[in-house]
Structure 1
């Protein structure tokens, strides 16, 4: 079964976030020009274009064009992929926006999101038994992966209902166990992501009362790279953008070639084409680079990242050295910033996506 474990990274910050007070990007030396790069990925519907592109020769095509070598490296555990990147073992990695903030950025690893790939559009949801009304969650025990995007989704759901996290009691449940836990009569509320979410919805009297579709654009999936590396080697960003958008254009084709590409991605993910397509249906892919650029430049991105960082700080994910939600600075297109401008360690750069939109790669 395909595993969508891209949202576990925040848990790793229970130890890693403590580095915030002592780590600073200012102490790092400038990256030197180089020609070989490693990009890490883990299994998730929105990231399967990367290994497929390598398999299909698209990675080599674009890397050769820019005179570089790109290795697309699978890391079986999502947490490990992000921590390897944060430790400098990878030049880039596929990551959710919250985890980009709470792992590498919080550790002082200056990180740039060069591709805003998709947002969860129903891949994450809140389930209740016995009621189809979100308000019925008050006072219940809620099973979920604590300090993950599921926890964030629950907080947003409660907020929209005029409730707070204190109105429920969360029970930390591993993603591998949550579907089986939901079969118990004692478990009447849970938050999960696909494919587990789809399985859990088949339980008698299970109701989807809130999903990521209700907060579009807040749970983003990104390709991030080391800021100094891409500044010293802009051809890396150009090649990665070329790879990404050529592969998306292929997989979106409603013909034999598109179906073949999606089937190959499903096989790489260890699932069936039908299951893969069902997960793509609840994943809003920014297939058109113009749409990705627009989303990255929109004030909505700053609003959403404000919510994400406020939640992360409130849950202690910035570490003991963080005195406020402003501890970590973020930069956005147009010179806009959020948080400490003297400690900007997460950046959203639309320049390579714009090159793709302009046909300038």
Structure 2
């Protein structure tokens, strides 16, 4: 897989006029559905003389795998998954849009206890090797414990809520809207959530670096369309409320339900705020923690000798890992253009 993936950028090395971006349902990514169906994407694509197809994929990890295999030019992903799947697989990937970070939407819930130290010797149900697994590691670390002190039980996200409702399952880690469902159950205590590790679980729209280099129009159109919607969606204007209501319905809830999910995220409604965040030392430190976890769990591949295997670049010349193998790039230049009204 890695060998074929490394070939992908060469295949993309050309100027083109049609592109495909994949997305999957989560509060921070579903705005792409509205960007597409409202005509905002077409407006920006027409401005630059290109076509951009926005495609919903029901399986999140599969969407990233398809991007990694070259079937899409971009995809939505968390920073951890962008690192561990395409970048670790040899596909040079650029984080074009930093949309938000989880600020309470991911959490650890315990039954009949509110003390993380009581987890010692217990089982914890979660989606293994996901951001939930990462959150557990940070929660345990916060009280001087480690994963060696507990037993992780791999549980599909579709089964988490039902599992917690049974007597045998006492602890789960999950994300919204499942997190809110679990936390409402009798005896449930939300003991740790992503608001305690701000910036660690980032939601990105990433694109193939070579494709972006050869087709800057794609970057301009995507960033322009995204932040046009954000400028409305983050307000109480009629258009903003209409967008949130539509996205609530599309995600199986309503406007209030969707707004509750947004409340658990630090949304970057303005491009300047996204640029400021990803340029901060905190963003680098958070990614350093994420790459260490990814290496410890074998997510950087069998051939990775250390967390430094995959190089990661940030604004201002900051880097983590091997500078000769930069495969994940946080490049805010297009978001800066949006901030400067220069798209």
Counterpart for residue 60 of structure 2: 78
Kept in 1, the 8 Å contact 2:110–2:191? The answer is yes
Kept in 1, the 8 Å contact 2:101–2:198? The answer is yes
Counterpart for residue 355 of structure 1: 337
Counterpart for residue 8 of structure 1: none
Give the Cα separation in 1 of the matches to 2:282 and 2:69.
31
State the TM-score, normalizing by the size of structure 1.
0.92
Counterpart for residue 15 of structure 2: 33
Kept in 1, the 8 Å contact 2:108–2:190? The answer is yes
Structure 2 spans left out of the alignment, 5+ residues: none
- Of 272, 297, 301, the residue aligned with 2:254 is 272
1:134 Cα deviation (Å)?
1.8
Kept in 1, the 8 Å contact 2:111–2:189? The answer is yes
Does 1:341 find its partner at 2:323? Answer: yes
- Of 151, 158, 162, the residue aligned with 1:180 is 162
1:267 Cα deviation (Å)?
2.3
Counterpart for residue 93 of structure 1: 75
How large is the RMSD of aligned CA atoms in angstroms?
1.5
Structure 2 CA distance for partners of 1:339 and 1:133, relative to 1, 3 Å: same
Kept in 1, the 8 Å contact 2:233–2:240? The answer is yes
1:209 Cα deviation (Å)?
0.5
1:269 Cα deviation (Å)?
2.2
- Of 58, 64, 75, the residue aligned with 2:46 is 64
- Of 83, 91, 95, the residue aligned with 1:113 is 95
Mapping 1:149-164, distance limit 5 Å: 149-164=131-146
Counterpart for residue 112 of structure 2: 130
Does 1:230 find its partner at 2:212? Answer: yes
Counterpart for residue 189 of structure 1: 171
Kept in 1, the 8 Å contact 2:5–2:69? The answer is no
SS at match of 1:180: helix
Give the Cα separation in 2 of the matches to 1:343 and 1:60.
35
- Of 292, 303, 326, the residue aligned with 2:308 is 326
SS at match of 1:47: coil
1:185 Cα deviation (Å)?
1.6
Give the Cα separation in 1 of the matches to 2:36 and 2:10.
31
Runs of 4+ in structure 1 off by over 6 angstroms are none
Kept in 2, the 8 Å contact 1:20–1:318? The answer is no
Structure 2 CA distance for partners of 1:322 and 1:20, relative to 1, 3 Å: farther
Give the Cα separation in 2 of the matches to 1:158 and 1:357.
39
Structure 2 CA distance for partners of 1:183 and 1:279, relative to 1, 3 Å: same
1:22 Cα deviation (Å)?
8.1
Q: Deviations over 1:287-319 (max 9, x none)?
A: 111110011111111111111111011011111
Mapping 1:214-229, distance limit 5 Å: 214-229=196-211
Counterpart for residue 281 of structure 1: 263
Structure 2 CA distance for partners of 1:22 and 1:243, relative to 1, 3 Å: closer
Does 1:205 find its partner at 2:184? Answer: no
SS at match of 1:181: helix
Give the Cα separation in 2 of the matches to 1:80 and 1:162.
35
1:26 Cα deviation (Å)?
9.6
